[in-house]
């Protein structure tokens, strides 16, 4: 059997984040000056792939961008991070998705609105499944749910670990929940599942029989449910400049831990350290940590 080409393939969204730091969120019908501004490469699975590449893993991304300068920018950012971008296809006549992110200076929290300009176009028949399955792990974000659901049964047969970023209810949401080895959602997934609290949402996610389900809670840390019951982790203390991509970095750290064969609690520590460290800089990728930095914080915790 030939060795897989990649350690991790991130499948799903690539978008340009326009990040504005403001003193506080503007009131309706007013103007507010920006304290800082940056345009940066974003998107859940591609940022997670960039994070894993910085940790030394061999990564690729699969997804779509528009045939505009933003699309070319996103592909070049991936290559600069050492991530293979050959499976990030350019969609003729389409524009690249963008997100507007307002960061409140004091808390570092962010409020996002986004243009999902490639919605529904990430179709399975456009991708070479043999190449997508030449990996040890697939990270599937909410924009690739249908593609992920088509891939996951074949991935399982080959022993490829699938990690699903469950966020909103999209086509094939339940199919993907049933197929994933690990499901990780942010607090938003509680509402998506129609549950009242995090524990109930985790029980619902775990009923689809993943190896573990995790819900991240920003600066309140995370909770998981696995065969051994619930595990809770507080967040590591950092001076948060911008929490954009904390979730993406957390997913990356979790994937790193799973591939290293660590038990759940150690993978959660490492993921939490990644999530905290990425908050140190503006934009999802400016403060992506090294392996040594992450290990140091995870073990100190
Ligand atoms: P998402 O970006 O998907 O909404 P979260 O905001 O829940 O994800 O963050 C994911 C993880 O990153 C959290 O569980 C936590 O470990 C870490 N994290 C997020 N915000 C902070 C923060 N302000 N300080 C420290 N760690 C944080």
pLDDT digits (tens, 9 = 90+) for 212-238: 999 999 999 999 999 999 999 999 999
pLDDT at 2: 83
Q: Is the pLDDT of residue 109 over 90?
A: no
- Rounded to the nearest angstrom, the distance between the alpha carbon of 246 and the centre of ligand 1 is 5
* Rounded mean pLDDT, 14-43: 94
Cβ–ligand 1 distance for 241 under 6 Å, the answer no
**Second-level CATH architecture of 6-25+33-298:** 3-Layer(aba) Sandwich (3.40)
If one residue of 275, 281, 298, 300 were mutated to test the ligand 1 pocket, choosing by the most ligand atoms within 8 A of its CB, it would be 275
Tokens 């993907």 -> residue: 176
Q: How many CA atoms, within 13 angstroms, populate the side-chain half-sphere of residue 61?
A: 35
Which atom of ligand 1 lies nearest, measured to the CA of 237?
Answer: 25
- Rounded to the nearest angstrom, the distance between the alpha carbon of 61 and the centre of ligand 1 is 23
Band of residue 171 on the pLDDT scale cut at 50, 70, 90: confident
For 278, the token pair is 């990425």
pLDDT at 107: 75
User: In the chain, where are the structural domains located?
Assistant: 6-25+33-298
Band of residue 167 on the pLDDT scale cut at 50, 70, 90: confident
Which region, left, alpha or beta, applies to residue 120 given φ > 0 means left and ψ of -120 to 50 means alpha?
A: left
pLDDT digits (tens, 9 = 90+) for 65-75: 999 999 999 99
pLDDT digits (tens, 9 = 90+) for 173-198: 999 999 999 999 999 999 999 999 99
- Rounded to the nearest angstrom, the distance between the alpha carbon of 248 and the centre of ligand 1 is 9
* Rounded mean pLDDT, 194-204: 97
Band of residue 58 on the pLDDT scale cut at 50, 70, 90: very high
pLDDT at 200: 98
Q: Is the pLDDT of residue 1 over 80?
A: no
pLDDT at 110: 86
- Residues 158, 136 contacting (CB under 8 angstroms): no
Tokens 């929940």 -> residue: 177
Between CA 66 and CA 97 the distance in angstroms is 8
* Protein residue closest via CA to atom 19 of ligand 1: 218
* Rounded mean pLDDT, 57-63: 98
* Protein residue closest via CA to atom 22 of ligand 1: 219
* Protein residue closest via CA to atom 16 of ligand 1: 272
Cβ–ligand 1 distance for 216 under 6 Å, the answer yes
- Rounded to the nearest angstrom, the distance between the alpha carbon of 236 and the centre of ligand 1 is 9
pLDDT at 233: 96
If one residue of 216, 223, 280 were mutated to test the ligand 1 pocket, choosing by the most ligand atoms within 8 A of its CB, it would be 216
Task: Kindly report the pTM of this predicted structure.
Answer: 0.96
pLDDT at 301: 67
* Rounded mean pLDDT, 258-286: 95
Tokens 């009131």 -> residue: 27
């Amino acid at each position: 059997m030939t060795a897989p080409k990649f350690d991790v393939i991130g499948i799903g969204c690539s978008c340009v984040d326009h990040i504005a730091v403001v003193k506080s969120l503007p009131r309706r019908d007013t103007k507010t000056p920006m304290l800082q501004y940056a345009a940066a490469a974003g998107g859940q699975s591609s940022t997670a792939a960039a994070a894993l590449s910085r940790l030394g893993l061999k990564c690729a991304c699969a997804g779509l961008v528009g045939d505009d300068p933003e699309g070319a920018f996103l592909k070049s950012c991936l290559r600069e991070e050492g991530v293979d971008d050959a499976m990030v296809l350019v969609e003729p006549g389409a524009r690249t998705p963008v997100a507007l992110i307002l960061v409140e200076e004091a808390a570092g929290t962010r409020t996002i609105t986004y243009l999902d300009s490639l919605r529904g176009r990430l179709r399975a028949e456009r991708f070479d499944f043999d190449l997508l399955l030449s990996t040890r792990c697939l990270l599937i974000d909410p924009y690739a749910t249908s593609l992920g659901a088509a891939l996951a049964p074949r991935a399982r047969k080959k022993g490829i670990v699938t990690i699903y970023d469950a966020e909103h209810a999209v086509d094939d949401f339940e199919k993907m929940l049933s197929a994933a080895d690990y499901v990780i959602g942010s607090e938003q997934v509680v509402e998506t599942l129609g549950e009242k609290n995090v524990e109930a949402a985790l029980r619902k996610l775990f009923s689809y029989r993943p190896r573990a389900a995790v819900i991240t809670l920003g600066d309140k840390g995370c909770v998981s449910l696995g065969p051994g019951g619930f595990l809770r982790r507080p967040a590591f203390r950092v001076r948060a400049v911008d929490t954009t991509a904390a979730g993406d970095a957390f997913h990356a750290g979790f994937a790193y831990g799973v591939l290293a064969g660590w038990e759940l609690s150690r993978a959660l520590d490492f993921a939490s350290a990644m999530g905290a460290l990425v908050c140190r800089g503006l934009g999802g990728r400016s403060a992506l940590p090294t392996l040594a930095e992450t290990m140091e914080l995870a073990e100190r915790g």
